[in-house]
Chain A
Amino acid sequence: GQQLNQSPQSMFIQEGEDVSMNCTSSSIFNTWLWYKQDPGEGPVLLIALYKAGELTSNGRLTAQFGITRKDSFLNISASIPSDVGIYFCAEKSGNTPLVFGKGTRLSVIA
């Protein structure tokens, strides 16, 4: 089956620091997505990437679809307390369902 490796599993950072997390896959995919899950809520889509090499920003968030189509990273600049949550990468190809990574749990220390 598809293998998605997301790292790190968890991070503790100071408010104002930048954050970087990534996902790698054993297979090639057409779409990478990044979701965030706040405590007690369902995941919410942050950024979607549809082309190899694509770099997309959404406010303080920046994500890239790797050239090899097997990896993606998400950066958060100048972290704030509301960035706390679990970040999931997800990938898909064709009509197959989304496959999610196991998540990166982010804690921000004020």
Chain B
Amino acid sequence: GIQVEQSPPDLILQEGANSTLRCNFSDSVNNLQWFHQNPWGQLINLFYIPSGTKQNGRLSATTVATERYSLLYISSSQTTDSGVYFCAVDNFGNEKLTFGTGTRLTIIP
């Protein structure tokens, strides 16, 4: 099946800093989503982005499908951005999402 790797596994930043999270995948994808898992365990849908670039406030994401990676940018980090960020993909003929192992982001005041 498709492999999904995320880097870095852990990231600790001061409040106000910017961050870039990366998601690499091993095959062509039909769908790519970014999620934020908050401290209560809920998965918050950030972006549906199988290709191209999207922005939502301080967050933006870019997927370069031909090179099999996606990037999530967080600018001017706030403590509420802390948590685990997952990317998840599915590929053609395979409808289930395969999740990466996540990046744990900790924002220090």
| A and B are interacting partners | no
